[in-house]
């Protein structure tokens, strides 16, 4: 009879965390930042159809890094949750904080109980109004939720990019400035990311119920020039 090896809980958690971190760090990063009239989400993404940034609800956007199939499933669940909640109660009862908590619970469960932790890090951005504040919630692979005051960097070499962005964009700025700072932070000092490799989504009030807009390549290159 074979005996299973004993693995201490500390070691188990450490191994799982390392596994997830490795997967997430391999991907490219996403920067989300609050500007004077909304929230901008910028990611490096050479694919023009497999999106990392998308709309969840009228004033809520989603961004994910890591394994595409894993975060895309979370995105779909988020849309279902939001549309279902809005259908059952009212559109104004759909709040990003509740969604962030559900994501946190699920990621936490998968981290401790799943076959393997999810190799993803996600962001829920909410554009504020009278009822809800503008918020950026970052949810890590093990379910930790952090409520970031001004900007969030997900995935890849997040720390370096975070420092670079903090230096460029010290306070809440107009849209173009924030976008340029985010792109510069993603690219670093000796690299230029072509607009075609950027994915940009914004949440901004334009007098319509839905506030999410995906900016196309032409618009992005126009804004960056």
Partner 1 sequence: MGLPLFSAQNDPGPSFFHYAESTGLTVPTRHGEGESAHATTVVAVRYLGGVVMVGDRQATGNYIASRDIRKIEPADFYTALAISGTAARGIEFIRMAQLSFEHYEKMTDSALSLEGKANYLSPIIQRNNLSSPLMVIPLLAGWDLSHQVGRIFEYDGAGGCYERLDFATIGSGSPFAESTLRLGFRSDLDLEGALDLGALALYEAGDNDPSTAGPDFVRSLFPMMVTINGDGFQELALDEVANRFRVINDRRTQSGGVAGGTLR
CB of 138 to partner 1, least distance (A): 17
Length of the chain: 225
Q: What is the 3-state secondary structure (H, E, C) of 111-176?
A: HHHCCCCCCEEEEEEECCCCCCCCEEEEECCCCCEEEECCEEEECCCHHHHHHHHHHHCCCCCCHH
Cβ atoms within 10 Å, residue 168 = 16
The string of DSSP letters for 185-221 reads HHH-TT----GGGEEEEEEE--SSS--EEEEPHHHHH
C-beta of 95 vs 169, nearer to partner 1: 95
Q: Considering the rule CB under 8 A, would residue 83 count as an interface residue with partner 1?
A: yes
C-beta of 19 vs 81, nearer to partner 1: 81
Q: Considering the rule CB under 8 A, would residue 87 count as an interface residue with partner 1?
A: yes
Q: Which long-range contacts (CB under 8 A, 24 or more apart) does 93-102 make?
A: 94/57, 94/58, 94/60, 95/126, 95/132, 96/60, 96/124, 96/125, 96/126, 96/132, 96/135, 96/137, 97/126, 97/135, 97/137, 99/56, 99/60, 99/124, 100/124, 100/137, 100/139, 100/145, 101/145
CB of 158 to partner 1, least distance (A): 24
Q: Considering the rule CB under 8 A, would residue 144 count as an interface residue with partner 1?
A: no
Q: Considering the rule CB under 8 A, would residue 95 count as an interface residue with partner 1?
A: no
Q: Considering the rule CB under 8 A, would residue 76 count as an interface residue with partner 1?
A: yes
Q: Considering the rule CB under 8 A, would residue 106 count as an interface residue with partner 1?
A: yes
CB of 219 to partner 1, least distance (A): 17
Question: Which range in 33-41, 86-94, 135-143, 163-171 contacts partner 1 by CB under 8 A?
Answer: 86-94
Q: How far apart, in whole angstroms, are the C-alpha atoms of residue 215 and residue 160?
A: 26
State which of positions 24-53 bind partner 1 (CB under 8 A). Answer: 51
**Residue of 14, 22, 26, 80 that binds partner 1 (CB under 8 A):** 80
**Residue of 68, 81, 175, 177 that binds partner 1 (CB under 8 A):** 81
Q: Considering the rule CB under 8 A, would residue 71 count as an interface residue with partner 1?
A: no
> Considering CB under 8 A, how many residues would be counted as binding partner 1?
22
Question: Which range in 13-21, 68-76, 148-156, 168-176 contacts partner 1 by CB under 8 A?
Answer: 68-76
Binding site for partner 1 (CB under 8 A): 51, 54-56, 73-74, 76-81, 83-88, 102-103, 105-106
């Amino acid at each position: 009879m074979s005996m299973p090896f004993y693995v201490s809980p500390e070691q188990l958690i450490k191994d799982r965390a390392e596994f997830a971190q490795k997967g997430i760090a391999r991907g490219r990063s996403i920067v989300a930042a609050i500007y004077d009239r909304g929230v901008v989400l910028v990611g490096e993404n050479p694919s023009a159809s497999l999106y990392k940034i998308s709309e969840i609800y009228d004033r809520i956007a989603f961004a994910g890094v890591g394994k595409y199939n894993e975060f895309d499933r979370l995105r779909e669940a988020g849309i279902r949750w939001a549309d279902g909640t809005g259908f059952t109660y009212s559109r104004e009862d759909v709040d990003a904080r509740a969604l962030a908590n559900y994501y946190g619970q699920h990621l936490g469960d998968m981290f401790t109980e799943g076959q393997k932790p999810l190799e993803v890090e996600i962001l829920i951005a909410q554009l504020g109004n009278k009822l809800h504040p503008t918020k950026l919630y970052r949810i890590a692979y093990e379910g930790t939720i952090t409520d970031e005051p001004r900007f969030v960097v997900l995935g890849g070499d997040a720390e370096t990019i975070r420092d670079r962005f903090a230096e460029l964009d010290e306070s809440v700025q107009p849209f173009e400035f924030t976008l340029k700072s985010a792109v510069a932070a993603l690219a670093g000092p000796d690299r230029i990311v072509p607009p075609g490799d950027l994915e940009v989504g914004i949440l901004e009030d334009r007098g319509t119920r839905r506030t999410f807009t995906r900016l196309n390549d032409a618009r992005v290159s126009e804004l960056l020039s």
